[in-house]
């Protein structure tokens, strides 16, 4: 259901808003939060299972160290209590032989889409850019990975290819060439990543990409160029915007603050007004009473 539903909203919505969720509780927030703006009801259309936040939550580095089964336990826990579609970040996807097997498992889980990045070797988080050693995969090798992935799955699971050229300081033309190759290899969508504060380069990419591919879904992750608004991405030709790490980044300082306050004050009294009340937490999950 979530797989078909995601394809439908991708067709019907101008832009799909996807929020990072690292737990069932964070996913429940993403599932239920909405905002009425004039005639329009704004809500998130689905969840992002992030390698960064899934790893961080487990106190591990974002270097592809969690295996796919650990990631899918998280996804299945989220699916237990929600209805919206989920896109999973599967890093480089690993070896082609492993990818083919893992994608079948992911497809069976009900996940709507995977995003696979065109890096190789020990993967580091993209937001490090060129400050750490990271290598991009050869275009042909990565294209093979995409086509092998498509062959290994039915059309239920979308396979989105993620281009790291701009992250690694390569020119726009390299990113565009890769996009063409990956779409030809069967990618169901393209994610162009950037760690620039300015969205100029991803807008330029979108403009050129859209001239060639009018229908192929295009994904933006505005973690660094965060001044850009969803409607600007929509107008530039993007179909999906992923807010990739914000729920975990919001929760950590809130937990740190209360932990320190309790220590300092020798009690929780001073912090009560800034946290959820006991009444609210008891009411939050139906069936608790
Ligand atoms: C993630 O959320 O793990 C991503 C996006 O891959 S980024 O952290 O920007 O690389
Ligand atoms: Mg990641």
pLDDT in tens, 233-282: 999 999 999 999 999 999 999 999 999 999 999 999 999 999 999 999 99
Give the residue numbers marked as catalytic. 62
Q: How far is the CA of 214 from the centre of ligand 1 (A)?
A: 26
Give pLDDT, residue 282.
Answer: 95
Q: 199 burial class (0-12, 13-18, 19+ CB within 10 angstroms)? A: buried
Q: What is the pLDDT of residues 168-188, one digit of tens each?
A: 999 999 999 999 999 999 999
State the ligand closest to the CA atom of 48: 1
Q: What is the pLDDT of residues 53-80, one digit of tens each?
A: 999 999 999 999 999 999 999 999 999 9
**H-helix or E-strand containing 39?**
none
Is 194 close to ligand 1, i.e. is its CB under 6 Å away? Answer: no
Q: What is the pLDDT of residues 18-46, one digit of tens each?
A: 999 999 999 999 999 999 988 889 999 99
Give pLDDT, residue 209.
Answer: 98
Is 74 close to ligand 1, i.e. is its CB under 6 Å away? Answer: no
Give pLDDT, residue 135.
Answer: 94
- 4: pLDDT confidence band, cut at 50, 70 and 90? very high
Give pLDDT, residue 118.
Answer: 98
Give pLDDT, residue 78.
Answer: 98
Is 223 close to ligand 1, i.e. is its CB under 6 Å away? Answer: yes
Give pLDDT, residue 253.
Answer: 98
Question: If we measure between CA atoms, which residue out of 28, 48, 30 comes closest to residue 90?
Answer: 48
Is 115 close to ligand 1, i.e. is its CB under 6 Å away? Answer: no
- 148: pLDDT confidence band, cut at 50, 70 and 90? very high
Give pLDDT, residue 141.
Answer: 98
- Please compute the mean of the pLDDT values over residues 91-101 and round it to a whole number: 97
Residue 222 near residue 191 (C-beta atoms within 8 A): no
State the ligand closest to the CA atom of 221: 1
Biggest CA–CA distance in the chain, Å, is 63
Give pLDDT, residue 210.
Answer: 98
Sequence-separated (6 or more) residues with CB below 8 Å from residue 19:
30, 44, 46, 47, 48, 242, 243, 246, 247
Sequence-separated (6 or more) residues with CB below 8 Å from residue 125:
51, 52, 62
Give pLDDT, residue 47.
Answer: 98
Ion ligand 2: residues, CB within 5 A, are 51, 89
The alpha carbon of 187 is separated from its chain's Cα centroid by a whole number of angstroms, namely 17
Cα gap 36→253, rounded to integer Å: 28
- pTM equals 0.97
């Amino acid at each position: 259901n979530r797989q078909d539903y995601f394809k439908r909203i991708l067709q019907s919505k101008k832009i799909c808003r996807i929020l990072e969720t690292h737990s069932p509780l964070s996913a429940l927030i993403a599932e239920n939060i909405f905002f009425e703006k004039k005639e329009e009801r704004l809500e998130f259309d689905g969840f992002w299972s992030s390698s960064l936040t899934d790893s961080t939550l487990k106190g591990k580095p974002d270097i592809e160290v969690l295996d796919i089964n650990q990631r899918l336990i998280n996804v299945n826990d989220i699916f237990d209590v929600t209805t919206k579609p989920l896109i999973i970040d599967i890093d480089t996807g690993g070896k082609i032989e492993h990818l083919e097997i893992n994608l079948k498992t992911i497809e069976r889980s009900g996940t709507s889409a995977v995003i696979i990045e065109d890096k190789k070797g020990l993967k580091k988080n993209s937001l490090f850019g060129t400050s750490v050693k990271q290598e991009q995969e050869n275009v042909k090798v990565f294209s093979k990975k995409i086509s092998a992935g498509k062959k290994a799955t039915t059309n239920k699971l979308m396979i989105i290819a993620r281009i790291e050229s701009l992250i690694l300081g390569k020119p726009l033309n390299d990113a565009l060439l890769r996009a063409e190759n990956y779409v030809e290899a069967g990618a169901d969508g393209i994610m162009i990543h950037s760690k620039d504060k300015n969205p100029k380069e991803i807008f330029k990419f979108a403009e050129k990409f859209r001239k060639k591919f009018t229908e192929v879904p295009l994904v933006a992750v505005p973690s660094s160029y965060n001044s850009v608004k969803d409607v600007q991405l929509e107008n530039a030709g993007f179909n999906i915007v992923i807010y990739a790490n914000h729920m975990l980044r919001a929760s950590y300082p809130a937990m740190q603050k209360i932990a320190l306050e309790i220590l300092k004050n020798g009690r929780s009294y001073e912090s009560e007004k800034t946290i959820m009340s006991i009444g609210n937490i008891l009411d939050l999950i139906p069936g608790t009473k």
